Structure 1
Amino acid sequence: MFGLIGHSTSFTDARKKAMDLGFNHIAEGDLDVWCSAPPQLVEHFEVVSAIGKKIEGAYIDSCFVPEMLGRFKTARRKVLNAMELAQKKGISITALGGFTSIIFENFNLLQNKQVRNTTLDWERFTTGNTHTAWVISRQLEINAPLLGIDLKKASVAVVGATGDIGSAVCRWLTERTYVKELLLVARQQQPLKDLQNNLQGGRILSLEEALPEADIVVWVASMPKNLQIDKSKLRNPCLMIDGGYPKNLDEKFSGSGIHVLKGGIVEFFEDIGWNMMEIAEMEKPQRQMFACFAEAMLLEFENCHTNFSWGRNNITLEKMDFIGEASLRHGFTTLGLNPNLQVSFA
């Protein structure tokens, strides 16, 4: 069985979801009540792949909400408790979705293997970042030409280049896509220099410097709240792939010639009998999902029960090839610029 650990996009949405599920005592509580609420296994479902492989899955709501991000101990406890529940339920491979993956990485939860009387088995968990990086890379390759952008002549800015997903996308663009120029953007300079050295290329720029030069912008970092950009200085056309969480680029960059694509989203070939994606505001919640969640499904389809995506900067092109081929084989397609026109990965 595979598992997915997620959460609601806001405290308001979480309370509504809890009410719908019959958890009235939690739904009616304030944020302090929610901080102490335990994780809940809220759904079981079955999935059959395009080649007929049948698997079972479960969705665990961590009872975390973004409003808790400023509470370090609470955020850490929420993720570890959800992981403990997944392991106790005997789930073979579980993906950390949304902020749970970010919390795990940023708070270095690898140092917290013991949760009460449970010793967490890291082999049972994956961040799903390998599949996310592969999907974003393919979304770029598929959709840029639809806008008339020639990748061999294109400048691509990766915002959040030193992160796990960002560095993997950079490696793919350098060694597989062969774009004309890679623009590296991140907050800390030394990791950027290390990445540049590892790639043997790429140009380090600030966000303000990179945006006007980029034909394509891959965002895999949170957008600064006070970011002010003169949209008239952006390339036309300009493809922006929103690979961060939450996905809010369209609020800042909507306009003529700017095309914002929700990055890291895949669509299954048929409906899945679950309700979990309704809280993620997917256009087709019975089929569409975050690529990180789909990674757990793919690993279960492939009987590959291991922490496939783990740590930082450990994603290889070989792993991206493996998970990408599995994604295609089992019936996933990428979300494109036209939501009514799905384009095959092939």
Structure 2
Amino acid sequence: MFGLIGHLTSLQHAQSVAKELGYPEYADQGLDFWCSAPPQIVDNITVTSITGQTIEGRYVESCFLPEMLANRRIKAATRKILNAMAHAQKHGINITALGGFSSIIFENFNLQQNKQVRNIKLEFERFTTGNTHTAYIICRQVEQASKQLGIELSKATVAVCGATGDIGSAICRWLDSRTDVAELLLIARNQERLQELQAELGRGKIMGLEEALPQADIIVWVASMPKGVEIDPTVLKQPCLLIDGGYPKNLGTKVKHPGVHVLNGGIVEHSLDIDWRIMHIVNMDVPARQLFACFAESMLLEFEKLHTNFSWGRNQITVAKMEQIGEVSVKHGFSPLLV
């Protein structure tokens, strides 16, 4: 059995979803309540591969909300993720994906030091961040969507915003070794890590955001959107492909301009309908078939009976592992969302 640990995008979103899912006691509660709310299994899932194989899964709502980080409730946020992991393990789930902020919180706050959650000793091999499949899907979106728009990679400049993150660095490795992209622009806050990435790749220009964006034919956004950062679409090239790999995805509403094509990055489409409710509440265009690539990674690992933390730790994703999960993704009927 596979599991998905997720969360909603805001307090308002959580209140509306709680009502829709049949938890009226959560629907009118404020942030204090959500800080203390326990994790819940709120959906049972059935997925069928194009091979004919069928698997079962569970969606675990962590009850984490981004407002917890904004309001400095770090202990509540970290407790949410650990409790959700323990809840998944207690229910016998073999491999569980940490979706959205779950994996980021786990890594940034070194939660691997917290193996004991009450009477449960966490077995980390039961969990995966899903970042390898996410990075693979975004790279395939770069390759396929650019072709749709008539952008030749051999002549294109690709800017990766968030280049030193787990997903961003993996994307850079893929673009460097698997494509003939003309130029890579590396954008991130940490200059030391940028220089290390540049040295590893043996290429790439380190740039600031304002300098890089007007030069890019393709922008891959896998960084968080800091408050106060605005993208002026009038300075972007036309055509320009902007792949929004962040969560929640909001560049489509922030960047609207003729010739600028915004694509939801890290989203896959399955060839067959998935029996679940959860994607109906996260605003997927085709909720029966579209989902986050990180969630799909746990499904793929369950299909293949690879019950292991396939994606784990920071900057450990190799091109070989991206190729491996990519082959399995195609085998079972998943494909990148395109323009």
Is 143-152 or 156-165 further displaced after alignment? 143-152
2:1 is aligned with 1:15:
no
Checking the alignment, whether the CA contact within 8 Å between 1:220 and 1:244 is kept in structure 2 is yes
Deviation at 1:231, TM superposition (A): 2.7
Equivalent residue, structure 2, for 1:257: 259
SS at match of 1:266: strand
Amino acid at match of 1:3: G
CA distance in 2, matches of 1:187, 1:117: 40
> Which consecutive unaligned segments of at least 5 residues does structure 2 have?
none
SS at match of 1:232: helix
Is 124-133 or 29-38 further displaced after alignment? 29-38
2:275 is aligned with 1:273:
yes
SS at match of 1:14: helix
How many residues are paired up? 337
Q: Residue by residue, what CA displacement relative to the aligned partner does 1:258-295 show, whole Å, maximum 9, x if unpaired?
A: 11000000011111110111221100111100000000
SS at match of 2:263: strand
Equivalent residue, structure 2, for 1:323: 325
Equivalent residue, structure 2, for 1:344: none
CA distance in 1, matches of 2:230, 2:121: 46
Q: Which runs of 4+ in 1 moved over 3 A?
A: none
SS at match of 2:247: coil
The match for 1:195 among 184, 194, 197 is: 197
CA distance in 2, matches of 1:172, 1:104: 25
Equivalent residue, structure 2, for 1:296: 298
Equivalent residue, structure 1, for 2:167: 165
1:28-67 aligned within 5 A: 28-67=28-67
The match for 1:72 among 71, 74, 77 is: 74
CA distance in 1, matches of 2:97, 2:62: 12
CA distance in 1, matches of 2:231, 2:314: 30
Equivalent residue, structure 1, for 2:237: 235
Checking the alignment, whether the CA contact within 8 Å between 2:99 and 2:294 is kept in structure 1 is yes
Deviation at 1:221, TM superposition (A): 0.4
The match for 1:105 among 87, 104, 107 is: 107
Q: Residue by residue, what CA displacement relative to the aligned partner does 1:53-74 show, whole Å, maximum 9, x if unpaired?
A: 1111000000112211231001
Amino acid at match of 2:11: F
Deviation at 1:31, TM superposition (A): 1.2
Q: Provide the TM-score with structure 2 as the length reference.
A: 0.97
Checking the alignment, whether the CA contact within 8 Å between 1:159 and 1:219 is kept in structure 2 is yes
> Which consecutive unaligned segments of at least 5 residues does structure 1 have?
338-346
1:122-271 aligned within 5 A: 122-271=124-273
Deviation at 1:119, TM superposition (A): 0.9
CA distance in 1, matches of 2:328, 2:240: 31
CA distance in 2, matches of 1:177, 1:249: 26
CA distance in 2, matches of 1:230, 1:162: 24
Equivalent residue, structure 2, for 1:342: none
Q: Residue by residue, what CA displacement relative to the aligned partner does 1:237-275 show, whole Å, maximum 9, x if unpaired?
A: 110000011111122221011110000000111111101
